[in-house]
Amino acid sequence: MNNPDLAKLILRLTAGILMLLHGIGKLYSGVGWIANELASHNLPGFLAYGVFIGELVAPLMVIIGLHTRVGAVLMAGNMLVAIVLVHMGDIFALSKSGGWALELQGFFLFTSVAIFFLGAGKYAVKN
């Protein structure tokens, strides 16, 4: 069976819901630690609130298929910032279980890029 639109929906829902859960977590725990990371790189702490765009607004756009490519770029950008600010030392590292230390970050980054190139498909509010 060949149904690329259903595959796009599954990819959008998987990446979007999983990223959204991280954003919801930050609603509860706050973004203070992100502000501290930004400050350690001589960047203003208020930029930490941008995580809500990358982890709440953008995933919702991807999930419902509203300006999906824009949402995917925002999610990918969010992950690039996270990798640069927090995870650069682990880019070539393996986890204790033998996988890539940045599996989760890589998943979000590369699925977002794939969604950008694939688009939303027909099961979307608006491409």
pLDDT in tens, the chain (127 residues): 899 999 999 999 999 999 999 999 999 999 999 999 999 999 999 999 999 999 999 999 999 999 999 999 999 999 999 999 999 999 999 999 989 999 999 999 999 999 999 999 999 998 6
The answer to the question of residue 12 being in a domain is yes
Asked whether residue 68 is domain-assigned, the answer is: yes
Taking the model in full, what pTM does it have? 0.93
Q: Kindly report the backbone phi and psi dihedral angles of residue 92, in degrees, each rounded to the nearest multiple of 5, phi listed first.
A: -110, 20
Would residue 99 count as lying in a domain? yes
Query: In this structure, is residue 123 part of a structural domain?
Result: no
Number of structural domains found in the chain: 1
What is the CA 96 to chain-centroid distance, rounded?
24
**Structural domain boundaries, residue 90:** 4-118
